Amino acid sequence: MAAKRGVRGLLRGGFGRARPSTPAGIRATGRRTARVIAVAAQKGGVGKTTTTVNLACALARPPHGLRVLLVDIDPQGHVASSLRDSIHPGRVSLSDILLAERPRDLMEAVVETDIDDLAATPPDKQLNDTDAQLSSRVGREYILQSAMVNARSHFDVILIDCPPNLGNLTLNALVSADEVLVPCDMSILAFEGVADLLATIETVNVRLRQQLDVLGVLRTRVDRRTTQINDAIEQALEHNYGDLLLDTEIPINSALAKAQAAGLSIFQFQPRARGARAYTALAAEVAERLGLASAAPAVANR
Ligand SMILES: Nc1ncnc2c1ncn2[C@@H]1O[C@H](COP(=O)(O)OP(=O)(O)O)[C@@H](O)[C@H]1O
Ligand SMILES: [Mg+2]
């Protein structure tokens, strides 16, 4: 009877009156279980953003057709500029979520893009300040992780584009992630940066009790014409990282840079470019490593 009275009371009062007691930010739970991949490297210019954006688009396209979320936690906002034709401004920013006094849901900030099955966080000019402000917050490394719980149920893959440093934003990305994808161009500085990042991942796992895995080290901007430098870095990568090296490599391809400048993914800009084939192959390899592979055959990279 009490339960019936409760329902009747609710009906009399109207559902609208019941709403204020629902905590802000609680959203419907989905049925998916996303794998979260942080794309990180301490050096800038190694192809983090190009990889995050084009891998996200490739995973959302056939044959994978996965539901993908792009999270841009880099204050430079290059994800939004790389896809400015398809990503539109949102009302809630990542900074609003990260700096909120009470826990908020990342889904509040997520906007759909014009690309099928791809959602994103909108550009956020405040993220630089946010990194500094996070320093005084208790449990600052865990804010994105807890805000992302619901988003994990709405997507198959969540890709986070990290800044080229190890500040609070990158730490939030690493703590939220299951896997780290490490782009490395064929330069000594990028090569040395891989070791630093792997050491950071170990520190995060030990001190912050996480279970981050390395999805792989990705050779980017590979120019087969500069053989000597390539060979030296290649040998050093193989010697040091062996199994961690992904089979797919991304060649230097001006269409990738032109697509980024035009605000389009390589698949929108020039779907037959070598860069498009390379990111299609990377998506197949990543899906395979994550156990999300579709039955369709992958397109060869080389
Ligand atoms: N494989 C590639 N071939 C040619 N240009 C590339 C390639 N990957 C990235 N670029 C270009 O290099 C620059 C740096 O790449 P970006 O992805 O923004 O690096 P990061 O995010 O690591 O700073 C951009 O201008 C981008 O368009
Ligand atoms: Mg970038």
The predicted-structure confidence for 95-131, as pLDDT tens digits, reads as follows 999 999 999 999 999 999 999 999 999 989 999 999 9
User: Which atom of ligand 1 lies nearest, measured to the CA of 43?
Assistant: 22
Separation of alpha carbons 270 and 262, rounded Å: 11
Query: Residue 16, class by beta-carbon neighbours within 10 Å (0-12 exposed, 13-18 middle, 19+ buried)?
Result: exposed
DSSP E strand boundaries for 208-300: 213-222, 245-251
Residue 159 has what DSSP assignment? Answer: E
Distance 85 CA to ligand 1 centre (A): 18
Edge-to-edge strand order for the sheet containing 111-112?
111-112, 118-120, 68-72, 157-161, 35-39, 179-185, 213-222, 245-251
User: Which atom of ligand 1 lies nearest, measured to the CA of 250?
Assistant: 1
Distance 77 CA to ligand 2 centre (A): 8
The fold of 28-288 is Rossmann fold (3.40.50)
CB within 8 Å of 138: residues ≥ 6 apart = none
Nearest ligand to residue 257 Cα: 1
DSSP E strand boundaries for 73-204: 111-112, 118-120, 157-161, 179-185
Structure confidence by residue, pLDDT tens digits, 214-265: 999 999 999 878 777 778 888 999 999 988 999 999 999 999 999 999 999 9
Better-scored residue on pLDDT, 7 or 46:
46
User: Which atom of ligand 1 lies nearest, measured to the CA of 258?
Assistant: 27
Please report, for the chain, the start and end positions of each structural domain, with discontinuous segments joined by +: 28-288
Distance 50 CA to ligand 2 centre (A): 7
At 18 the pLDDT is 38
Separation of alpha carbons 250 and 223, rounded Å: 9
Distance 85 CA to ligand 2 centre (A): 18
At 295 the pLDDT is 59
45 C-beta closer than 6 A to ligand 1: yes
pLDDT tier at 89, thresholds 50, 70, 90: confident
Tell the residue nearest (CA) to atom 13 of ligand 1. 45
